[in-house]
Amino acid sequence: MPPRTVVIGVDSSTQSTKAAVTDAVTGELLAVGRAPHVVTGEGGARESDPEIWWRALCDAVAAGMKESGLAASSVTGIAVAGQQHGLVVLDRSGRPLRPALLWNDTRSAPQAAALTAALGGPEAWTARTGTVPVASMTASKWQWLRENDPASAGAAAAVRLPHDFLTERLAGVAATDPGDASGTCWYSTRTGSYDPELLSLLGLDEALLPPVAATGGVRVGSLTPSAAEALGLPAGIAVAAGTGDNMSAAVGLGLGGSGLLDHPVLSLGTSGTVFAASRTRPASTALSGFAAADGTYLPLACTLNCTLAVDKVASLFGLHRDDTSPGGEAVLLPFLDGERTPDLPLSAGLLTGLRHDTTPQQLLGAAYEGAAFTVLRAMDELLRACGLDPADPEVAARPLRLIGGGAQGRTWVETVRRLSGRPLIVPAGGELVARGAAALAASAAGGGDPVAVATGWNSTSQDTELPAVERDTETWERVGSVLDRSAGPLLGG
């Protein structure tokens, strides 16, 4: 038997790093190493020291290789998929000048609003970047940094996204990809390059930014001797450009130019995310019109409050997360950290519809319903951006792929199923972000389209398929009515 060759796909998320040791030929997941991150901040602040990400990457790779039992010489490539939008500013030696501002840091909401107005409104931004600035976007965070920490902004010798920072540590060269770059609001999905007018508006020198590779699977360099020593891997193996976490999940699912298109995916994690691969450049002010890692597009909507918010409600009532029942008349909008979709960065949670006979289980069920409704309604807008009518019976019958930690939870699955009225597919293969990164690494090491690589690896025989149930339109309309009425003064939006 020939020696096994493997690649490593890294998922550097908000809370942790996972390193998936993957057979480069079959896609078999051989081992997963894990290491935690630290997030700090109160109120709207959410920050992390990027050096923690690097140490976590080293620890996760070491743990994964130890679990696999393979020799380091079997590894041929590595790629990083990182949490989107985070702002990393570096000095001339490549060291962070300050903690990174994370995607869910909402302090930059005023800057987002000011930037939107400065260019002429949401439509002007959508025409250029595909995306309207909100607090999550990197451009808003850079503007916040200029106004609130001008010393760090002025001293910056390089500006990076989280996955860029880690890729540069691996290969010793600056690089990013179209997918993650499209989440900055200074990269144009129309031109496929940084937008000079937007950079001027932001006072940002393009020389501070990394070059944009053609795709996330392009080999941008080789593992440096110092990085190899830190990771316990061979120097010289392929380092891919990598991409953002949502783009990587799409690759891992086989979505893109050579795979499935316009099939919606709902990810239930810290945030709730819905996206689909499309060859059509989306143009909707209600969405993030991102690029994909493979050259197609990835229209996406993201909510800040998903599994963590619902778990918080469960803890308030002392309930297990599955000790629930439908909300009945109660409506709970769990906007505990502000909200991104809809754009209500100053919002708080809202509970209404209480009766004497309302139970704690119903209130927890209402939290699930509120969180699921928000992202499912965004999915309808996403389908429209792909040129599809969500009310069309053929479109409504397309399965919804459910991923993320919440996809393993009974109540999450049943709530999404009930409110969407769609058949669901829960892929059997876990760690989709890391799997997508592994496909990017395999592409960088051996050539080929990463989506085609992932499609060749995928086996759907173990996927869980759930037929559609009748849609709960009564709950849908009740939650929607409360949200629409309350999106102004009650939520502080």
Instruction: Give residue-wise pLDDT tens across range 314-339.
Output: 999 999 999 999 999 999 999 998 88
Res. 93: pLDDT tops 60? yes
Res. 386: pLDDT tops 70? yes
Instruction: Give residue-wise pLDDT tens across range 431-459.
Output: 899 999 999 999 999 988 999 999 899 76
pLDDT at position 262? 65
> Could you tell me if 250 and 431 are in contact, meaning their C-beta atoms sit under 8 angstroms apart?
no
Burial of 355 (0-12, 13-18, 19+ CB in 10 A): exposed
Please report which confidence band the pLDDT of residue 405 belongs to, taking 50, 70 and 90 as the band edges.
confident
Choose the weakest-confidence range: 93-97, 271-275, 326-330: 271-275
- Average pLDDT of 396-411? 91
Q: Which residue has the tokens 């316009």?
A: 262
Which amino acid, 414? E
Res. 69: pLDDT tops 50? yes
Q: Which residue has the tokens 């309930």?
A: 319
- The whole-angstrom separation of Cα 117 and Cα 111 is 10
Res. 231: pLDDT tops 60? yes
List, by residue number, the catalytic residues.
Answer: 245
- The whole-angstrom separation of Cα 445 and Cα 167 is 15
- The whole-angstrom separation of Cα 361 and Cα 387 is 39
Q: Which of 333, 343, 371, 335 is nearest to 140 (CA)?
A: 343
- Average pLDDT of 113-125? 96
- The whole-angstrom separation of Cα 425 and Cα 429 is 12
> Could you tell me if 451 and 256 are in contact, meaning their C-beta atoms sit under 8 angstroms apart?
yes
**Percent of the chain clearing pLDDT 70 (strictly above):** 97
Q: Which of 28, 26, 5, 29 is nearest to 18 (CA)?
A: 29
pLDDT at position 258? 61
> Could you tell me if 253 and 475 are in contact, meaning their C-beta atoms sit under 8 angstroms apart?
no
Query: What torsion do the CA atoms of 224, 230, 234, 239 make, to the nearest 10 degrees?
Result: -50
- The whole-angstrom separation of Cα 341 and Cα 301 is 7
Res. 488: pLDDT tops 60? no
The pLDDT mean for the chain works out to 93
Pairing of strands 100-101, 187-188: unpaired
pLDDT at position 1? 53
Instruction: Give residue-wise pLDDT tens across range 167-215.
Output: 999 999 999 999 999 999 999 999 999 999 999 999 999 999 999 999 9
pLDDT at position 492? 46
Q: Which residue has the tokens 């000011």?
A: 114
Instruction: Give residue-wise pLDDT tens across range 472-481.
Output: 999 999 999 9
Instruction: Give residue-wise pLDDT tens across range 357-383.
Output: 999 999 999 999 999 999 999 999 888
Annotated binding site for substrate: 84-85
Res. 38: pLDDT tops 70? yes
The two three-digit tokens of residue 452, written as one number: 């085609």
Annotated binding site: 84-85
Res. 87: pLDDT tops 90? yes
Res. 489: pLDDT tops 50? no
Q: Is-above-0.75 flag for pTM?
A: yes
Is the C-alpha dihedral spanning 224, 227, 229, 232 positive or negative? negative
Q: Does the structural domain 6-246 have CATH classification 3.40.1360.10?
A: no
- Average pLDDT of 132-150? 97
Instruction: Give residue-wise pLDDT tens across range 279-307.
Output: 888 878 888 899 999 888 999 988 989 99
Domain ranges, ordered by start, for the chain: 6-246
> Could you tell me if 103 and 44 are in contact, meaning their C-beta atoms sit under 8 angstroms apart?
no
pLDDT at position 427? 87
